[in-house]
Amino acid sequence: MSLEIKVPTVGESISEVTIGQWFKQDGDYVEMDEVICELESDKATFELTAEASGVLQTKAGEGDTLEIGAVICVIDTEASGDGAAPKASQEASSEEKSSGDSGASSEAKATGEVKEMVVPTVGESITEVSLATWLKEDGDYVELDEIIAEVDSDKATFELPAEASGILRHVAQEGDTIEIGGLICKIEVTSGGAPAEASSGSEAPQAEAPASSGSETYATGHASPAAAKILQEKGIDPAQVKGTGKDGRITKEDALQAKVEAQKPAAQAAPKKESAQPAAQESAAPKASSGLSRDSKREKMSSLRRTVSRRLVAVKNETAMLTTFNEVNMGPIMDIRKKYKEQFKEKHGVNLGFMSFFTKAVCVALQEWPAVNAQIDGNEMVFHDFCDISIAVSAPKGLVVPVIRNAESMSFDEIEKEVVRLATRARDNKLTIEEMTGGTFTITNGGIFGSMMSTPIINAPQSAILGMHNIVERAVVENGQVVVRPMMYLALSYDHRIIDGRESVSFLVRVKQLLEDPTRLLFGV
């Protein structure tokens, strides 16, 4: 029987994914729950597991973009001959290894039972963990409740105990990110004894034998998801990195050390190249003498950047986007921050920034002008009675937009703490899908990079976005007098299909009014 595996639903607003890499090749035999490929969306990376045991038939290649629900591969569960051979060889090698491991204890016998260990629930809000360290190697004998691995969440590190006594078989690699309930390892249960000496004394040489003999598997040269992200950020080709993980797989530690190792061969090869090609040296002489470089670098766009690019173009083409501007005297807010910032930090443990003032002002204005907080869904307009404010953050992989939930009900210190938390998780690449979906309005601050004025693009499916800019002292007229004030330009880009000019201008004027007289935020006037 052939089982079709389709692209699963991975998030509320995600309609398609890209195949990052196949861990199993077409025609390979796969076990149930074994990771077969890596999928990338514009927000996160996911691992796809086999839903049955059998021979894999891929239907899409690496780099292909598939819609949610599309067939990505087929597993022939009744395959025999070549398809069943890998399974038979794996079972035979497992039995040989188990018998070898238990050679020092004749009482230890395999029961035939395989205990599958999954990632346990470690906290109410934790949806995934990262496998930090294996404390037991693949093929080691483990006792019941013996600590075999350490897993990291965004909040703490946990120890994983063995759920049975037997031979450990790794499924996940160090650095892999696994969802709660995902398969992390298997234990081939044994009874009658504990072959500790055999597993500890003879396992290490046996584990090194395949690497020294030069045998390769699908894992050889492949990077784990965590390692792949690090190598991509460094701009290093995985082919230049030697993997030290199981079967030569590139681990997170390999990726962290890859930069130095990848540069050494280049530095050593440079003199040889120059001496071997004197003609090329002569032709390059003008370039060297002038000191000018005309080198170019070609780099493949990440899945995140490709998706962001596609969505930005779609927003420009599919919305009636306009931008209205205003300016704000930031003097009153700066005076308040200067007067109370030390007391605020001492009491709440967080700095008093501009973002809390803007978020509070935006929430008040959104409740007064609900169309700015709405969105279009087909032929209907959806109005929200809550304010989920998206905050644009520049992360290592690109621009991400985490969401502050129910910001209208939060205090200044609660907003500042949430901004710091989300920004930290974004820069550490630890944001979850839930933390980046469902916003109703976006605030982006280009002023931190020195932007004076811009026209921000709407964050679909939202209908408006507020752009903050840098603060510059300018001459303005107040009561017939020319005075110098710290001024900021504000830009509101909005979808004219749902927001009229009166609403957009009135919204921005209300935000300006609240920021220039912050005491209004305290009294709600």
Q: How many CA atoms lie within 13 A of 505 on its CB side?
A: 3
For residue 84, give Cα distances in angstroms to 169, 215, 259: 20, 20, 41
Q: What is the pLDDT of residue 1?
A: 74
DSSP annotation of 457 reads P
Structure tokens at 360: 């509070």
In the predicted structure, residue 11 carries a pLDDT above the cut 80: no
> Which amino acid, residue 415?
I
> Which amino acid, residue 220?
T
Task: Return d(Cα 467, Cα 489) in angstroms, integer.
Answer: 8
Neighbours of 481 (CB within 10 A): 7
Structure tokens at 12: 């509320």
Domain 1-79 class, CATH top level: mainly beta
Cα-flanking dihedrals φ and ψ of residue 460, to 5°?
Answer: -60, 145
Domains 1-79 and 100-208 share a fold: yes
Which residue is it, tokens 């891929």?
58
| Mean pLDDT confidence for 458-478 | 93
Structure tokens at 183: 């398969």
Higher pLDDT, 413 or 251: 413
Task: Return d(Cα 190, Cα 77) in angstroms, integer.
Answer: 28
97-126: string of b/e by CB count within 10 Å (b at 16+)? Answer: bbebbbebbeebebeeeebebbbeeeeeeb
Report pLDDT digits (tens) over 334-369: 999 999 999 999 999 999 989 999 999 999 999 999
Give the bridge partners for 399, in sequence order.
Answer: 394
Higher pLDDT, 304 or 107: 304
Q: What kind and span of H or E run contains 210?
A: helix 196-213
Cα-flanking dihedrals φ and ψ of residue 463, to 5°?
Answer: -115, -5
In the predicted structure, residue 310 carries a pLDDT above the cut 90: no
> Which amino acid, residue 109?
K
For residue 362, give the 3-state DSSP assignment. helix
Domain 225-275 class, CATH top level: few secondary structures
Q: What is the pLDDT of residue 37?
A: 87
DSSP 81-102: TTTHHHHHHHHHHHHHHHHHHT
Say which of 64, 145, 500, 517 is annotated catalytic: 500
DSSP annotation of 7 reads P
Q: What is the pLDDT of residue 246?
A: 59
Give the bridge partners for 404, in sequence order.
Answer: 389
Task: Return d(Cα 311, Cα 308) in angstroms, integer.
Answer: 5
Work out whether the CA dihedral 231, 234, 237, 242 comes out positive or negative: negative
Instruction: Choose from 123-132, 206-215, 284-293, 321-330 the range with maximum mean pLDDT.
Output: 321-330
Instruction: Choose from 250-264, 392-406, 491-505 the range with maximum mean pLDDT.
Output: 491-505
* CATH level 2 (architecture), domain 304-523: 2-Layer Sandwich (3.30)
Average pLDDT, the chain: 79
- Catalytic residue check, 42: no
Report pLDDT digits (tens) over 370-387: 999 999 988 899 999 999
Say which of 82, 237, 496, 517 is annotated catalytic: 496
Domain 100-208 fold is OB fold (Dihydrolipoamide Acetyltransferase, E2P) (2.40.50)
Q: What kind and span of H or E run contains 418?
A: helix 412-427
**Poorest-pLDDT segment among 2-11, 158-167, 246-255:** 246-255
Closest CA to 325 of 469, 483, 520, 518: 469
Report pLDDT digits (tens) over 208-265: 434 334 455 545 777 766 677 677 777 788 777 877 775 676 876 777 777 544 444 4
Q: What kind and span of H or E run contains 233?
A: helix 225-234
Task: Return d(Cα 153, Cα 125) in angstroms, integer.
Answer: 10
Under the banding of pLDDT at 50, 70 and 90, the label for residue 157 is low
Task: Report cis status (omega within 30 of 0) of the bond before 518.
Answer: no
In the predicted structure, residue 323 carries a pLDDT above the cut 90: yes
| Mean pLDDT confidence for 391-407 | 86
Task: Return d(Cα 289, Cα 255) in angstroms, integer.
Answer: 37
Share of the chain above pLDDT 70, in %: 77
Task: Return d(Cα 411, Cα 352) in angstroms, integer.
Answer: 12
Give the distance from CA 59 to its chain's centroid. Answer: 26
Task: Return d(Cα 409, Cα 421) in angstroms, integer.
Answer: 18
Q: What is the pLDDT of residue 427?
A: 84
- Catalytic residue check, 154: no
Task: Return d(Cα 173, Cα 252) in angstroms, integer.
Answer: 9
Alpha helix locations (H) across 246-404? 252-256, 258-276, 278-283, 285-290, 303-318, 331-348, 354-368
Which residue is it, tokens 């819609």?
67
**Poorest-pLDDT segment among 155-169, 200-214, 487-501:** 200-214
Q: What is the pLDDT of residue 282?
A: 47
* pTM of the full structure: 0.50
Q: Confirm if 77 and 2 have CB atoms less than 8 A apart.
A: yes
For residue 430, give the 3-state DSSP assignment. coil
- Domain chopping of the chain, boundaries: 1-79, 100-208, 225-275, 304-523
Closest CA to 49 of 84, 5, 19, 3: 5
Task: Return d(Cα 148, Cα 130) in angstroms, integer.
Answer: 14
DSSP annotation of 223 reads B
Q: What is the pLDDT of residue 39?
A: 83
| Mean pLDDT confidence for 82-105 | 45
In the predicted structure, residue 324 carries a pLDDT above the cut 80: yes
Q: What is the pLDDT of residue 506?
A: 96
| Mean pLDDT confidence for 141-162 | 79
Under the banding of pLDDT at 50, 70 and 90, the label for residue 311 is confident
| Mean pLDDT confidence for 47-54 | 86
Burial label for 214, CB within 10 Å (0-12, 13-18, 19+), is exposed
Q: What kind and span of H or E run contains 475?
A: strand 471-478
In the predicted structure, residue 314 carries a pLDDT above the cut 50: yes
Q: What is the pLDDT of residue 43?
A: 65
Which residue is it, tokens 């020294």?
212
Share of the chain above pLDDT 90, in %: 31
In the predicted structure, residue 276 carries a pLDDT above the cut 60: no
Report pLDDT digits (tens) over 111-134: 778 889 998 886 655 677 778 788
Higher pLDDT, 102 or 395: 395
Task: Return d(Cα 259, Cα 254) in angstroms, integer.
Answer: 9
